[in-house]
Amino acid sequence: MNDLPRASIFIVDDHELIRRGLRELVNGATDMQVCGEAGTAAEAMRLIPRCSPDVTVLDLTLPDGNGIELIKRLCAHDPDMRILVASMHDEEVFAERALLAGAMGYINKQETAERILDGIRRILKGKVFLSPRMTERLVRDFAGHPPAVGHSPVERLSDRELEVFELIGHGMRTTEIAESLNLSVKTIETYRAHIKQKLKLESSAALTRSAVQWSLEAR
């Protein structure tokens, strides 16, 4: 028997099937176990401080908030919080944002089960976990080398602009986005204008089409 204490893992994902799969994966390992789950940002903020997990595995797309903002809030509450982002979103767009927000790693949900466990174990040791491609990119950026061609234009958006862009892709209207983010309608309209400018979109209809397409691809 293994008498060593098992690391506690908290799962944040809005899909019950994904949570179940991660729960079975984690609980099937001999060195870790799930201590709690949440399907929304509000639940995560309420439950994670109570559970004090060793690692939180967190998706970026949540029905009541943006994962990047959730990471910032969790790390503001506990600077020692260890978070692994597990998402279908483009790593090139979100990995660096997640790290800057306070996460310690980023992995695509399509990775193998063993790779996900490796990511959790690496973060448990206090190390950063990224794909080799993303690690190389960040090293190149740090060294001052020009980025490779083919990066997504969405990378030009700020965190808040990206959050608004994502909500547009979910079919939310300006007033709904303003209410969701506790911002004024005028502020959201300003964000929309900035997004159109950065993505070189000529109309609100083009913005909506682009946001919906991006959101579908990210899922």
Query: What confidence tens digit (pLDDT) does each residue in 98-132 have?
Result: 998 999 999 988 889 999 999 999 999 999 999 87
148 occurs within a structural domain: no
Is the same domain home to 157 and 200?
yes
Q: What is the largest CA-CA distance in the chain?
A: 64
Q: Domain span at residue 171?
A: 153-218
Is the same domain home to 136 and 161?
no
Q: From 142, 174, 205, give the residue that closes a domain.
A: 142
Q: What is the pLDDT of residues 150-207, one digit of tens each?
A: 467 788 888 888 889 988 888 889 999 998 888 999 999 999 999 999 999 988 888 9
CA-wise closest residue to 33 among 128, 120, 125, 129: 120
CA-wise closest residue to 159 among 100, 109, 80, 219: 100
Residue type, 174: T
Structure tokens at 170: 């979910």
| 41-51 mean pLDDT | 94
pLDDT grade for 149, boundaries at 50, 70 and 90: very low
Residue type, 66: N
Question: Which pLDDT does position 1 carry in this prediction?
Answer: 47
| 76-101 mean pLDDT | 89
Structure tokens at 27: 């609980």
Mean pLDDT rounded to a whole number for the chain: 88
Is the same domain home to 69 and 160?
no
Indicate whether 16 pLDDT > 90.
Answer: yes
% of the chain surpassing 70 pLDDT: 90
| 135-144 mean pLDDT | 67
CATH number of the structural domain spanning residue 161: 1.10.10.10
Question: Which pLDDT does position 143 carry in this prediction?
Answer: 63
Is the same domain home to 30 and 135?
yes
Is the same domain home to 35 and 81?
yes
Is the same domain home to 47 and 119?
yes
CATH number of the structural domain spanning residue 118: 3.40.50.2300
Q: From 117, 142, 167, give the residue that closes a domain.
A: 142
Is the same domain home to 67 and 158?
no
Question: Which pLDDT does position 156 carry in this prediction?
Answer: 85
Indicate whether 142 pLDDT > 90.
Answer: no
Structure tokens at 15: 């899909």
| In 102-203, alpha helices (H) | 113-124, 132-143, 159-169, 174-181, 185-199
Q: Report which DSSP code applies to 39.
A: S
Q: Cα 141–145–146 angle (5° rounding)?
A: 95
| 50-68 mean pLDDT | 91
pLDDT, greater one: 136 or 22: 22
